[in-house]
Each structure stands twice: as C-alpha cells, then as structure tokens.
Amino acid sequence: MRCLLALLTVPLAAQSIDWTSVNAEALRHLQDLVRIDSSTGHETRVAEYVKKVFDAEGIPSTIVSRDAERANLIARIKGNGSKKPLLIMGHSDTVKVDPDKWKIAGPFSGAIVGDYIYGRGVIDDKSDLFAAMMTTVLLKRTGMKLDRDVIFVTEAGEEGSSGFGIGYLVNDHWNEIEAEACLAEAGGVVRRNGKAAFARIETTEKVPRGAKLVATGISGHGSRPMRTNAILHLSEAVTKVALWDPPMRFNDTTRTYFEKLAQISPPEQAQRFRDLFDPAKSAAVREYFAVHDPSTYSMLHTSISPNIIQGGFQSNVIPSEATATLDIRALPDENMPQFFDMMRKVINDPAVEVVPTSRGGSERPIPPPSSITSETYHQLEAAFEKVYHVPVLPLMQTGATDMAQLRARGVQCYGIGAMTDEEDGPKGFGPHSDQERLLEESAYKHLQLWWNAVTSIAGAK
Ligand SMILES: [Zn+2]
C-alpha cells in the first residue's frame, strides 16, 4: 500500500531524468570528493568543491565557518512554504588514514577496482554527500515543485570535532538550517550473498561516555612481587568490566529491530533474536552475540570497551598507579551515576577507583529517538522498498553522529546509507577501515534512494 502511494506521489519530473548520464556525472563527483583529502581537517576544500558545482547550476550557497580551514556549506532550494523545511546532510571530514595499509588502491585514489570504488570516506560519508548534492542539483534542474524548502548542508568535524561543524551551525546559524526533518548518515542496506537483504533507518543512537579506572598500590622492588601491585589490580578490574554483561534493555527502535530481524533471518539466526526476549534463554544468547556479533551485542545495553592502558615506567620498579581508559557507549536513557555504581560493584576492589571523564569536548546531547511512526519515516520506508525491494528496519546506531545535536533541537532525524556487503565490515572493507570501499552499483542505487526520499518528503502533493 505504502509502495503504491509513494509511486503515485513521485512527481512527473522524476521520469524525465536521464539517469545514465546523471549516474556518470554523479560517479565523477563521488570520485572527486574522495580525492580531496579531508582526513585531517581542511574541509573547506570540500565546501569549495560543492560551491563550484552549485554555482554552475545557479544554486545559491554560503560557506560559513568557525575556522577558515574547516568550513561548512549551506544551500537552499525553495519550496512553497506549506510545510517546514527538510534538511539533508553529508559530512565533509573523514577519519585519518595509514597510507601503507591501503594495498588495493590508495586512500585518496577514488579508484574503481572490480566492482568497488576505493578510498577514505567513499562510504563515510562522501557517499551521502555526493548523493545529497546531486539530489539538490536535480531539484534545481527539474524545477520540481516543492511543499517545503530543501536545505543542503555539508558539515565539517563530524569525526570528533563537531564544534567546527554541527555544533557551530546549530549555535550560530540555526535560522539557516532549522528544519522539521533531517536525513543524514548511519543507516543503509545490508547485502547478503550478492543481494540486498534488508534496509535500516537510524532513528536513535548510543551516547559516547568516558571513564577511567585508576588502580593504586604500594611501589616497590620488582624482585619482590606484591599482591598490592597496581597493575595486578587494574588488570583484574579491566577483565571484570570487559566481560561484564550489563543489564539488557530495549527501546521502541531496538525492540522493533530485533522482532523484524527475526522475521527475515534464516531459522537458526531468527531463533537467537527471539531468544533475546525469553528470560530463560536470553543470557546464553547474549553470550553468543558477545563472541560472534559484537554489533548486535552492543545494541542490547550500555557497553564498555577498555581501549587504553597505562602503568609502570621501569621494568624493576613496581608502580604505585595504573590506569585504563574506557570507551562507554550508553543507551539513550541510561542513568550514568547508577551505571557507574553498578560498575564499582562488579569491580569490587577498593584499590580501583571508577572516575567518570568527559569525552574531550565531543560530548553530544542525549535527545529522545526520532519517531518510527511519523509520515517522514514511512516515506523513507517506502523509498527503500521502492529502490531495493527489501524489508526496512529501524536502527539504533552504536556509534554517534551529528544527528544528536539536531534531535536535541526537536528535528526528526533519520540516518540512511548506501548498500554494503554484510561481510565487508568484518573483512576490513567497511567505514573507518584500511580499505574502505563502496560497490559502484551501490553509488547509483544510493542516489536513487536519496532522490526518491527527498522528492517524496518535500515534493508538492
Ligand atoms: Zn560518518
């Protein structure tokens, strides 16, 4: 039913686009964007690239920045104003690279090898950037009638320095980006055995939190081992929290996600998702996920990963202090003081202190999830169904994105994304990996998805 409605509401202009030539043009843009190294800031280069593209189309845009090297770009295609604007975003920075590890193609090559385009950011997030940019271009070229303004933003600093990007835009340029709904990164389509299997729309995300474990003991001579050794106490505490299974809790998004996943998974896998809801079987299946499927396991509760460990300075000296830095990803509704108290009980060692820390200026607000019953959500569902012919699930992302700041301002944000092979992430081809890659076919389909989603949400009815 929804599919049919979506088809009926796709405006006529959509049919008149010559997709073969648009795809060729779009691919060039994606490759060009990947070839711009924005892994260490310098997002201004990306903003200037987009500005050039928009200038050539007669789309007015402005470059705004807190730091001249780390600029953002805002553009607007006007609608008739009967509905509030739709914001579409792709971030312009990427994570850093270790160039020696890129064996198949260079990190800023944008090279096509086999079926894939390689390069840093080709998924995260230049895939959304090029598709949102092309969608904006096509809205202008077709002169499509819109019920709402479509605001395009490419923002800097998403990967850990959002003060230059979304934080700055929300604080200093709110009037220019204020919208009812927003589309950005973090969802996507899972391809299994060469076929699209299901799509995911990100409606909420976990919240990065920090803490340190600080163990203190008595210093002494390394030839006389002591049971009070700070490193010994720290190691035991790290083991305990790393193996701890914090209380499981579902929200609307994750409950629906696992219920739907059970309906579309092979029998054995489906049973595991159902077992999560069975108190008698849940603990065993959680242990299975902890070992075999860390991403599913992380969706079930607030998670803890010990990622830095420090202690000692000379091999014959017993140190009096040792510390471990934890990466905590909290469920959106987690009560952190209570959570830290639980951690202290799990560690159960007076020599080890749990010290909450800030995340170095990258703290994001904790907004409520976006609705999975809104009109925008259903229009997005229909767009995925139309382009990929697959079931669509709401997703709680375990990482964090710039949507947090927008959701905190009341914008209904939905994370979409390109189609990637299920096994690519584990094999080291996913976002942030040393061989980030995107199926060429997926780039074209992703543009179709953006186009269908934006025209169905913003197009005049
Ligand atoms: Zn990203």
Q: What is the pLDDT of residues 23-69, one digit of tens each?
A: 999 999 999 999 999 998 899 999 999 999 999 999 999 999 999 99
d(CA 103, CA 107): 9
Q: Does domain 207-357 have CATH number 3.30.70.360?
A: yes
CA of 432 to the centre of ligand 1 (A): 9
pLDDT of residue 13: 53
CA of 448 to the centre of ligand 1 (A): 20
CA of 88 to the centre of ligand 1 (A): 14
CA of 178 to the centre of ligand 1 (A): 21
Examine the pLDDT at 1 and tell me if it is beyond 50.
Answer: no
CA of 91 to the centre of ligand 1 (A): 7
Higher pLDDT, 451 or 10: 451
Domain residue spans of the chain: 2-205+368-458, 207-357
Query: Where residue 15 falls among pLDDT bands split at 50, 70, 90?
Result: low
CA of 158 to the centre of ligand 1 (A): 7
pLDDT of residue 363: 60
CA of 404 to the centre of ligand 1 (A): 13
CA of 118 to the centre of ligand 1 (A): 16
The count of residues in the chain is: 461
CA of 421 to the centre of ligand 1 (A): 18
d(CA 127, CA 403): 17
Examine the pLDDT at 416 and tell me if it is beyond 50.
Answer: yes
CA of 431 to the centre of ligand 1 (A): 8
d(CA 442, CA 461): 29
Of the listed ranges 165-174, 228-237, 359-368, the one predicted with least confidence: 359-368
CA of 186 to the centre of ligand 1 (A): 7
Query: Where residue 423 falls among pLDDT bands split at 50, 70, 90?
Result: confident
3-state DSSP call for residue 313?
A: coil
Distance from the first to the final alpha carbon of the chain: 17
The beta-strand segments (E) located in 66-184 are: 72-77, 86-91, 112-113, 116-118, 150-155, 181-184
CA of 137 to the centre of ligand 1 (A): 22
pLDDT of residue 424: 86
CA of 55 to the centre of ligand 1 (A): 26
Q: What is the pLDDT of residues 113-164, one digit of tens each?
A: 999 999 999 999 999 999 999 999 999 999 999 999 999 999 999 998 889 9
CA of 441 to the centre of ligand 1 (A): 20
pLDDT of residue 272: 98
Query: Where residue 11 falls among pLDDT bands split at 50, 70, 90?
Result: low
Examine the pLDDT at 5 and tell me if it is beyond 80.
Answer: no
Examine the pLDDT at 331 and tell me if it is beyond 50.
Answer: yes
Examine the pLDDT at 289 and tell me if it is beyond 90.
Answer: yes
CA of 165 to the centre of ligand 1 (A): 13
* Averaged confidence pLDDT in the chain: 94
CA of 124 to the centre of ligand 1 (A): 5
Q: What is the pLDDT of residues 228-274, one digit of tens each?
A: 999 999 999 999 999 999 999 999 999 999 999 999 999 999 999 99
When the candidates are 3.40.50.1000, 3.40.50.2300, 3.30.230.10, 3.40.630.10, the CATH number that belongs to 2-205+368-458 is: 3.40.630.10
Query: Where residue 361 falls among pLDDT bands split at 50, 70, 90?
Result: very low
Residues 6+ apart with CB under 8 A from 214: 321, 322, 323, 352, 353, 355
pTM, to two decimals: 0.90
When pLDDT is averaged across residues 301-312 and rounded to a whole number, the result is 96
Query: Where residue 14 falls among pLDDT bands split at 50, 70, 90?
Result: low
CA of 123 to the centre of ligand 1 (A): 8
C-alpha to C-alpha distances, 96 to 33, 39, 373, 394, 436, nearest whole angstrom = 15, 5, 37, 29, 12
C-alpha to C-alpha distances, 42 to 46, 100, 252, 423, nearest whole angstrom = 8, 22, 39, 32
When pLDDT is averaged across residues 11-34 and rounded to a whole number, the result is 87
pLDDT of residue 7: 47
If we measure between CA atoms, which residue out of 199, 256, 252 comes closest to residue 382?
199
Q: What percent of the chain has pLDDT over 70?
A: 95
CA of 281 to the centre of ligand 1 (A): 35
Q: What is the pLDDT of residues 178-206, one digit of tens each?
A: 999 999 999 999 999 999 999 999 999 99
> Could you tell me which residues are beta bridge partners of residue 150?
77, 86
Local structure of residue 252 (DSSP, 8 states): H
CA of 63 to the centre of ligand 1 (A): 20
